[in-house]
Each structure stands twice: as C-alpha cells, then as structure tokens.
Amino acid sequence: MATTILKGTVISAPSLGKLDITEGGYLVAVDGVIQGVYKTLPREFASCPVEDMGNDLILQSFSDMHLHAPQYPMLGMGMDMPLIDWLHTYTFPTEARFRDTDFARETYRRLAAELVANGTTRVCMFSSLHREATLILMEELEKAGVTGFVGKVNMDRNGGVDLEETTEESIRETERWLEECHFEHIRPVITPRFTPSCTNELMEKLGQIAGEKDLPIQSHLSENAGEIAWVSQLHPDCRQYWETYAKCGMWNERTVMAHCVWSDERERKAIKDAGVWVVHCADSNQNLISGFAPVRKMLKEGIKVVLGSDIAGGDKISMFDVTAASIRSSKARRIMDNWNTDFLTVSEAWYLATSAASDFFGEKPGFAPGNPLHAIVLRDDDIISVRKLTAAERFERCVYNRQKNAIRAVYSAGRKVYSAQ
Amino acid sequence: MATTILKGTVISAPSLGKLDITEGGYLVAVDGVIQGVYKTLPREFASCPVEDMGNDLILQSFSDMHLHAPQYPMLGMGMDMPLIDWLHTYTFPTEARFRDTDFARETYRRLAAELVANGTTRVCMFSSLHREATLILMEELEKAGVTGFVGKVNMDRNGGVDLEETTEESIRETERWLEECHFEHIRPVITPRFTPSCTNELMEKLGQIAGEKDLPIQSHLSENAGEIAWVSQLHPDCRQYWETYAKCGMWNERTVMAHCVWSDERERKAIKDAGVWVVHCADSNQNLISGFAPVRKMLKEGIKVVLGSDIAGGDKISMFDVTAASIRSSKARRIMDNWNTDFLTVSEAWYLATSAASDFFGEKPGFAPGNPLHAIVLRDDDIISVRKLTAAERFERCVYNRQKNAIRAVYSAGRKVYSAQ
C-alpha cells in the first residue's frame, strides 16, 4: 500500500460558498484514494513519510468541463469576430488540420502538459471529428496525468469542405473509436458538435449509441442569438433548442451542455428536470459577445453548474483565471440586472471550478474520503503583504494573483503528475 | 552619439485602429531618441551595431495611466466588496502602512521591477499621502526605468484615523514634496484622492499650486453610483461631480480622471470641452461592480481615453491583460446596449494602451521620430500554430496569449531596462 501524506494549509470546497480550511493539516491518501484531512496525523500513519509543504496551500485541482483540444493552436486569435464567423474563419480550418496525426501528437502532447502544469486534472473535452487524432489526444492526456472524458466530434452538415463527415462515416468512425478506447483514466463521451452540425439521423443514432453503451453526452446549447435562430430554422418541429437534443435521447443526467447563455425559464426547467449539466464559459461568452449567462439564477433553481475554459473561445487555460472570469461575469450580470442579482463570491466560483463537477466523475465534493487524490500545491511566499494574511485571504488572493511558478506540484488520481523546477 | 538599432517585426499604432507593420524592419534611435522605422537600414547607420531580434515582435511599451502604488501589496484581495467598503476595509489600512519607509522601499522596489518586466515604462500613478514614501516611490521607479508622473495623495477628510492629514499638513507636505522632487524621468502630479477625501479649502489650494507650478492633476471621477451620491451630498452647490474639481481650478487639458463610468452626456461634454483625460480601468470597474464605461461613445465624441490597470481595484499589472480586459469590457457594454455599440478591436485597445497617452508625455503616437525610445521585444516562437501567421495575427494573439518569458527586453527613454534571463 502506497501512502501519500501532504502537509500544509489544506483548503477545499465541500459545498457552494463553504471552505474547509485546515492549517498545518495532513491530507492523506492510500493507494491514491483520499483517507481524510487531519489536524493531527492519525497514529496509523505515524511511520509513513510526510511531504511537508511548509506554509504552501494544498488545494483541490480543477475540473475543466468544456474545452476544444484542437483549438489550442489558435488560442487568442480571431477574437474580433462573432461566433459563427469565427467558427468558419478560424475554428473549422484549424480543426481540419488534425487529420495530420503528427501535428495532432505534437499539439496534444503540449496541451496535456500545459493543462497539468496549470492544475487541471479532470476534463470534459471536445476533440475534432478525426478518430485517430482523438485517440492520440486521449493517449497524451492519459500519459500526462489528465483524467476525465474526451469526445470524437460528430458533424455531418455545415462544416464546410474540410470538416464534415457523411452520416455513415460519422457513425462508423464513432463506433470504431469507441472500440479502440482502452485507457485507464480517459473515457469516451458522445459529442455531436452542436445541432447545426448534425442531421437528425446522426443525432438519433448517437443518442442510441450513448444509451446502449451507457456513455455521457456533451454538446453546446443556447450560446448566441444567431445560433438559436439557426437551430429554430433547422428544427421547426422543436419549440426550443434543447428539444433538438432531447428528441434524440440525449437529454439526461449525464448530458453536459456548454454555455446556456440564453436559456430562458422554460429551457432552464428542462435542464433542471433532466439533471443536465451546464458548463459556464465566462471569458468565451464575453470574447464572442454571446452574452452573460444567468449563473446565479441557475444555481438558485438547483441546476448543476460547472466551469469551462472553452479554449479557444476562451483565451485562458488556467482555471484560476477561469474562476476569476466567472466572478467578473457574474458581476457584469449584476450590473445588467440593475444590481438585483448577487455576484459569485470567490469561494462560490472556486466550488464551481472544482467540487461542482465531482458527481460527474463519481466523486464527492472537496477532499472527501474515498475520492481519488487530485490536488495542487501552491506557494505564495514571494508576494509582498502588509500583514500576515489569514488562510482564507491567501486563498482568495491566489484566484487573482499568483507569483511566478506558484504551482509547486500537482497530483492526479493519486499520482504526482507535475513538479515545479 | 549612442545609436540603438533593433531589427525585427516592428509594429506600432499611429492612430486609433491602425497598425504600422514593418517585417524585418529596423527601429533606430540615436541618444535614446527615435529616428525612424525602416525597411532598409539607411546608409548613415550602416556601421552601427544592429541588435537582431530575429522574428521577435518589436512593440511600443505601455502607458499605465492610473494605478495606486501602495495598493500593490493587496493585489487580488477584497474583491468580494463594493467600492466604499473595500476602501475602508482593505485600501486605507494598507496605504496607512506606508508611513514605514522601509516597507515602502521594499514594496516600491518590487513594484517598479514588476512594471518594467511587464513592459510598462510610462505611468501616471498615485502614491499614498506620505511625503517620504512618495519620494521613495519616485526614486525606485526612476532607478528601475519607469518614467512619467507620481502624485503624493491629498486627503484631509473621510480617511479614518490612520489615513488623514489636516488641511495645513496636507498643503505643507505637498509643497515640501514638490521642492524635494528632483528626478529626471519621474515628475510630480497634483493628486487629490477624490472629492470625498478633500475639503474645499484643500482642493482650492491644490488647484492654485497646480496652476502656479504648471503641474498636471489626477483624481477619480464618477466611478460608482454610491460615490456620486456622496459627492452630491458633500457639494450641494455643484450640479455634477466634475464641477467639484472644476470650481477649484482642476479641470483642464492636463487633468487625468480615472473611471468616468457614469459620466452622462453633460459631464462628457465638460470633459471634452476642457480636454480632460479619461482613464478607463476595465477590470477594476468590473471587479468592484462599478459598471461599464461608455468608452466607444467617449471616443466617438472626441474624448481622450487612455487605459489604466488601477491596481489594486484592478488585479492585473500586465497591460497586455489590461488591453484584453478593456476589449472584453467594451463587449460587455455592447451586450448591455443591446448590440448597438461597437466593441473595441484589438488594435484599437492597443492604441489606447500605448499611443493614446503620448500627447500627455509630450510625444507623438507610435514610433514617431523624435519620441524617446520606449519598446518591448516579444518572442512568440514557442506557441504552436496551424500555419505561418501574419504579423497582424501574431500581434493580435499576444494580447491574449503569450508564452513563458515572452518579453525578451524592454527599453525605456532610450535605455534597456529589462532583459529576460
């Protein structure tokens, strides 16, 4: 039995807005599984080696619940364009490059390393439509120590010449991809790009595959007014966007929908009733001028909200930055709502970036016993302060302000996957 | 005569939204003064050594036109509070610490180094009310290579026990500070904190000093609804906030006003007519839920808008980040205005962060001949791309996405003040 004991200022988010803080605490894992956080080391671990992190913060690592791996090479580009133009000018041509497996290998190796170095150890991620590149992505994530879900994208319409499959191809390649997925920590998720990219026939078949193989589903929902109008034109039989997924068996408690910026009361009720996950992508929604998602309202209604970097609509891989962006977005929403909605506090946004997704991964919120060890060790001793800060203040500050090489180590599924030089 | 010749992809912003791009260009300065940007090196410089930056971008360095030096040690803290609470809980106690000159020296040495390392070589900056700490700040900026203006803050009311001067003290210390300012590149600016912090008597005297000594003036204006209401209560004789400054002789073409989030048509007209500078502080306004300044409207009306990090209301020192934040803020404003106002493009925001302030410093926009050499050398060869990018695309990307140690060198007033290790 391999025991890992990390000593430091242990902070986790057991529920929305709550922090568990143990200064000089011990975070103990056996065979990669968390046993508990202790103020005093239990006698049974007395003979085990302790990694003493001194005054460093020991935090939960992040879950990035929406990002597009093949858009990594266009991070920060095309930001002056609205969604649909941006897709056709930058995104689709970039994704089309991933038929080249060497380019895919190099790009995904770098992306995986950057995710881990930034403390993102769980993802729900889009690949491109290419089966081979998707397997390469999964392999590189697994090697680097990123866990979670990756989807080969399906798109049999409106992708242009270079980024479209026939319906048959899309289904055949999906089935073949699913057969070839043999990874320990990276699992497949069914991924129709979004309704305008998939015919009804394809959607229905994907819904069927997801049902038969008990797979989660991810896609996009109600990001942008133009997109919603397009969907409505394509599906006159559906009253709302979400119904285009629901009618194909893709609307359940393992469905992950990015954005939901414009989901009105009726759509939100459908989300809530089905237990669908909403991924809030604050920077992306602001960059592409999509709007400000009513996150606070969704939380109040009991909708499961998590966060996504949405690279490359978002421009920040670091989930520290994504956390700050979601706070800022909630403040923008407050301004728009004439100060009638609350903003997200730092600890609330942090919860959304970490614990909120735990159930999706079969875990419990926070550093709960039984969870696999996913953690970040963060140093902040090189930031000047006017006085000794409380642990809560240090925690709050790190969301906005971190020193160079602040992340000292990252643990994923019990394994140390990153160590600062 | 010392000649500096930098060779690379030279990019500058000669006017709002326009870029001058010279690939493989030569940026030439003699005795620290720019001679020009050339596609072919003029014969007269043929024998001078050329610093060949290869494919690196050679960009204008930044002007940060509003930031609070003594708030540097609280960067990223108290972000869950509204403006006035935040001032009293975090800001004023932090600033009060700067009566300790050792603490001031250490803090300001680090701040100056961080500014330069991030390519900020011109500032218009608030110190605290402490004369000695202000002189230390000016000295440390000068040593590090930051140029521009610094103001000893004046506040003779509403500062609490630890951060208030008597009116006499405030005037006396200001006069003494002005006598003791002997720096080459850092000059004094008269700095009433904001109307609620200064009695009429103090304001009038400061206006008089500014007039007599021909000094610029900086303060805050119409940041937040609560603040505006407070000002109106304090000055029933003034119809609008700006008039509290104007009536004391502090409203002219060398007046710099931070925020102006809530400046209505009448106040904007007063700003325009007097030639007052508006400093837009996007992240700060969103962090403190102040609102979204109508930047596009102000630009259209011919108001001089520049950018500020406003640390520590803002949480980012890097003006690359501040540029991105101002774009995002303009997009938020577009959303709020029901898509009826344009957002700032990358090159427009870049102009605001660099050239827009040039007149305030007695320079011309861009790398104009006669300007002192202020430049950043930026490397982006370690970011993966799907194809060879144009110089304009690389430029756009660097606002959002930069590699580790992207800034290779920084030049300020002709001197190389930073070099990456």
Q: Is the pLDDT of residue B133 over 80?
A: yes
Q: Is the pLDDT of residue A259 over 80?
A: yes
Q: Which residues contact B378 (CB under 8 A, 6 or more apart)?
A: B56, B57, B58, B59, B398, B402, B406, B407, B408
CB contact under 8 A, B289 and A106: no
Look at residue B82 in the predicted model and tell me its pLDDT: 76
Among A407, A417, A316, smallest CA distance to A57 is for: A407
Residue of A163, A328, A380 to mutate, interface with B, max B Cβ within 10 Å: A328
Question: Residue A29 phi/psi, 5° resolution?
Answer: -130, 140
Lowest mean pLDDT among A128-132, A262-266, B384-388: B384-388
Distance CA B4, CA B417 (A): 14
| pLDDT tens per residue across span B87-107 | 888 999 999 999 999 999 999
Confidence band for A266, pLDDT divided at 50, 70 and 90: very high
Look at residue B84 in the predicted model and tell me its pLDDT: 79
Answer whether A98's CB lies under 8 Å from A141's CB: no
- Cα separation values, A43 from A38, A46, A47, A48, A262, Å: 11, 5, 8, 10, 54
CB contact under 8 A, A72 and B328: no
* A250: closest CA of chain B, how far (Å): 31
CB contact under 8 A, B79 and A291: no
Quick one: B404 exposed, middle or buried, by C-beta within 10 A (0-12, 13-18, 19+)?
Answer: exposed
CB contact under 8 A, B80 and A287: no
| pLDDT tens per residue across span B138-166 | 999 999 999 999 999 999 999 887 899 99
* A291: closest CA of chain B, how far (Å): 6
The residue among A82 and B263 whose pLDDT is bigger is B263
Mean pLDDT in residue range B8-12: 98
Distance CA B16, CA B403 (A): 27
Which chain A residues are closer than 8 Å to B384 by Cβ? 72-73, 106-107, 110
Q: Is the pTM of this model over 0.80?
A: yes
* B112: closest CA of chain A, how far (Å): 13
Residue of A331, A336, A383 to mutate, interface with B, max B Cβ within 10 Å: A331
Which chain B residues are closer than 8 Å to A384 by Cβ? 72-73, 106-107, 110
Considering chain A, what is the average pLDDT of its residues?
96
Task: Nearest chain B residue to A332 by CA: give it.
Answer: B286
CB contact under 8 A, B400 and A75: yes
| pLDDT tens per residue across span B288-301 | 999 999 999 999 99
Confidence band for A216, pLDDT divided at 50, 70 and 90: very high
Decide the pairing of beta strands B120-126 and B191-192.
unpaired
DSSP 3-state assignment of A298? helix
CB contact under 8 A, B399 and A339: no
CB contact under 8 A, A400 and B76: yes
Task: Nearest chain A residue to B98 by CA: give it.
Answer: A386
Which uninterrupted H or E stretch holds A229? helix A225-234
| Both structure tokens of A395 | 């925690």
Q: Which residues contact A211 (CB under 8 A, 6 or more apart)?
A: A249
Q: Which residues contact B346 (CB under 8 A, 6 or more apart)?
A: A79, A80, B323, B327, B395, B396, B399
Among A325, A35, A341, A356, smallest CA distance to B321 is for: A325
Look at residue B109 in the predicted model and tell me its pLDDT: 98
CB pairs under 8 A between A and B: 116
DSSP A345: P
| pLDDT tens per residue across span A188-207 | 999 999 999 999 999 999 99
* A315: closest CA of chain B, how far (Å): 6
CB contact under 8 A, A75 and B383: yes
Confidence band for A84, pLDDT divided at 50, 70 and 90: confident
CB contact under 8 A, A93 and B343: no
Mean pLDDT in residue range B196-211: 97
Which chain B residues are closer than 8 Å to A346 by Cβ? 79-80
Work out the number of other CB atoms within 10 angstroms of the CB of residue B6: 23
Whether omega before B312 lies within 30 degrees of 0, making that bond cis, reads yes
Look at residue A360 in the predicted model and tell me its pLDDT: 98
Task: Nearest chain A residue to B335 by CA: give it.
Answer: A291
Look at residue B250 in the predicted model and tell me its pLDDT: 98
Q: Is the pLDDT of residue A83 over 80?
A: no
| pLDDT tens per residue across span B35-79 | 999 999 999 999 999 999 999 999 999 999 999 999 999 999 999
